[in-house]
Structure 1
């Protein structure tokens, strides 16, 4: 009996030891968004920040605290890269050079006791520091050593967002807009009324969609240019649908077309909200989702930063990237008499169509959140030429009211 108890005791100790070994040896994998980066060094007994890399609406994203190293970084750069030679220069003045990456966590860090949604600065190697950029979504293995990343397992490039284009109902006031933004905890530097894409909207009950189907443009039948809507212009809202109308019709003419169907058409109150500083696409989408459930908000579109320096080296020179989160080309310096336009197409652009646009006076072309709408700069005397292309649905001038 005593021997049996002894065996059971030894077995229990072995199980406990195995669990402890497993818990301390199994990797802890965490996900999050890169918020900012920094380089520090020690001089004497004091630690100094040599460099800070964070998003900024105006000015450089790289702040070099020690002016001796300003020569190594261009003002237009958004991502701080530290070469071995730059590190050697830093070591001449500082000891114990450290690289830190601050990450807003999407999952809990049990090693450092940090919860989801909080931000923590992790120590990383120089190579890992160079790999990540502001706004990247990263998956990484955290070290048992305090606040240290053992290795980065996955990097997903995400756009940075500088603001929101928001379509409000016609009746909303400026004070109500400010109150709504405050409720969603969105801090803005300014808000402007803008002309943007569709001008009219209507709230349509589901049982009336069939009645106005003659205004639907599917990209195949002959286009009714007076008043129409496309597939991406229909959004589910509450118990009905919001339809955004395009066309040459004035508001009075549009009302005459829809009055027989007891559908009230109104003007969209478009506003552009500029953030105090750029945020990650993930945060901006959270704000977008909060806003779009509000009864006074019809649609929200992200104003993304498309930094061509972020493109993979293997895709260098590629005109049409695999994802839409890029600027396709930027020739705006070639000519001065350009203006800002939104280009709406029947279908997402092909590489050949992008080449045609480039040869038709389009001097800058960037994707938007909507796959058939593109931001552009066009030579003013060639706008009609672009409008006449068979794959272009319409061209809108983008301007503040």
Structure 2
């Protein structure tokens, strides 16, 4: 097993990784920005290094500062968590070139899946279903209009290098495409340094279902079930559950097989997620993208499969066999994750501030992965996620009931928060029936 691990991240995911590292006897090293010095993950690490000011470009995305911290602390490996540098192929290569272990997929796999157009083409060649769309970037508006004419409106306009729900727009006709193309291209150039644009068929009513995969040290790729991620605002997830209430046993078999093929196509190692769009009522699904990292919503898979995915990541990176038998995977029960964000519950706009009250719910089947405690400040410099409230039970109705109680028992004051939204959602008929899709929040609001 790896002996010392630098966690190149912050907040709840850094705290989550550190918890597993310390359980395994691995020395955990945190890096932090100046404004994060008082957060729990810094105190709970065996060692901590300040890598710069609040601006992520000067701290959590500062490759030189992070590698210097690894060198000064004698770190053997780097775990990037999610976000920041986690899907930066150049950083992964630099880590390995420095003689360190990279806890994640190989840089070539990150590069292959980081460009949405290249990823689509690879998946199509591997026999994974993809939605109708362009096989190369739409170089200009004329090309975009021609592609949309062939695909058929409405279309999704996507930044090829984008991710996390950013850099997307929907065009219902030519006039809308003219506007969205320029908007998405400008955003992509500004945010990702790459203005390449993909045109893809847009499905007005769709479900977002993803498969957790794990590329093992011996070269095999295994699928650890699916997660339903259709409760979204601005194309970003708020709720995840496993298994999906929309997936039949037959469809599950096809989904998981396609995800394994996707991983095998890029010789995938370590944890990753194959995201798909599922057309309601048809059992038809399409590849969306692959996230070459640990997902925010990994706890629901952990609870259903009885695994610690961070431990499995460390074992793969160290060249060790998994803790489980890949040929005897046995999911049980139902898990739901609610993302507790510092944002108002109506418009979902960020509302940072000092946490005056923070009392987490407890009890059977309740898990809270949090990045903050009472007295901490949620700053405007980073993502608004404060904690993940995760519940587990034998059945979905029991999990929903447990989630209602946990939300009611979560005492939180100071920053704005979306707990009232979850109170509303957990009583929503579409959600409780399991018939919802990605437009649910729009209809609720």
TM (norm. structure 2) is 0.21
Larger radius of gyration: 1
Larger helix percent: 2
- Structure with bigger strand share is 1
TM-score, scaled relative to structure 1: 0.23
